[in-house]
Amino acid sequence: MSEPMSKTNGGNYFEDFALDQELHHATPRSLNDGDRALYQALYGSRFCLQSSDEVARGLGLSTAPLDDLLAFHVVFGKTVPDVSLNAVANLGYAACVFAAPVHAGDTLTTTSRVIGLKENSNRKTGTVYVRSTGVKQTGETVLDYVRWVMVRKRDAASPPPPPSVPDLPNAVAARELQVPAWKFAAFDSARGGSPHLWDDYAVGEKIDHVDAMTIEEAEHQLATRLYQNTAKVHFNLHSEKDGRFGRRIVYGGHVISIARALSFNGLANAIKIAAINGGAHTAPSFAGDTIYAWSEVLDSFAIAGREDVGALRLRTVATKDLACAEFPWRDAGGKYHPAVVLDLDYTVLMPRQN
């Protein structure tokens, strides 16, 4: 008699992935104002567009959109049971374009396609590249991005697939940005919290965001559950006490949201994330770490046909237990400062001077 099929999901191992494989992720997620409030409680973000229906209506929206990163985390969370349940680490992001805004009442679903596979030299793990797309109930794309993750092998002796590593862009081109038809010219910078608009930032300028936030064990687990991210490394202390670090690792997206919230102090009018060009979680974060951040303006470009809004390409670097007045990043040899936990390259939209 054949063995009965298991009814539980132990997650995919490296051997279970195939190039061009399509993954249809379970559990559509309807978002509401409770999600907005909980996200606000977790990070304290003060960007005015996502905080105020009145500000949103002034720009031509019916209500305030939910935070861009809340949508990112929910779309990401859908992929975890199929892509990274058996991951060692999430390694990076690229080519992430934010499209239609998400409002309370929208339902998000995610699909992914495997676009690259490469066994690692230790033969115990491999790197899986996926392109994931989040859509809402209208069929509109909310988010499209690439990430790559190191996944355990079920059997180190199993033969690897032919290596295939996708060619990824260094940044999302200006022409590929999805710039909404909002009335950015009506933006009130006093409500935004800063007089500085797109025209006031120069390429090469560095900003110490000054403020800091300590990660609490309960908060980072609450955040990860909010996104229905089931990765074992964030929750299962019983198994992780015997792992590499002996404790639960903080979801990297939690650090991204902290850094984005901290960036308000210096970039208050960067009211919309348009793209994530690339990113790396350079070291793990744990409960008890205090996160600081600084940003550098990598590029500044006008939007074709628009006089009311411009784009800034930013690098935001987050550190743990180290203030950023001296802008810690990499040494002359390219090695990250040991306190750096996040290196995020992304593009924001900001109103222009009238």
The CA dihedral of 169, 174, 180, 185, to the nearest 10 degrees, is: 150
pLDDT in the model for residue 232: 83
Tokens of 45: 């973000």
CA distance 96 to 176: 10
Mean pLDDT lowest for which of 32-41, 189-198, 242-251, 281-290? 242-251
Residues 114-126 pLDDT 10s? 999 999 999 999 9
Residues 294-321 pLDDT 10s? 999 999 999 999 999 999 999 999 999 9
Is there a common fold for 10-154 and 192-215+250-354?
yes
The confidence band for 1, taking pLDDT boundaries of 50, 70 and 90, is low
The confidence band for 10, taking pLDDT boundaries of 50, 70 and 90, is confident
Neighbours of 168 (CB within 10 A): 17
The CATH classification number of 10-154 equals 3.10.129.10
Among 343, 278, 346, 280, CA closest to 314: 346
Cβ-contact 259, 316 below 8 angstroms: yes
Domain ranges of the chain: 10-154, 192-215+250-354
Cβ-contact 257, 82 below 8 angstroms: no
Among 228, 253, 242, 298, CA closest to 82: 228
DSSP summary character for residue 75:
H
**So what CATH class is 192-215+250-354?**
alpha beta
Among 69, 154, 163, CA closest to 121: 163
pTM above 0.85, yes or no: yes
What is the H or E stretch that residue 69 is in?
A: helix 68-83
CA distance 119 to 121: 7
Residues 173-200 pLDDT 10s? 999 999 999 999 999 999 999 999 999 9
CA distance 25 to 83: 10
Tokens of 353: 């001077």
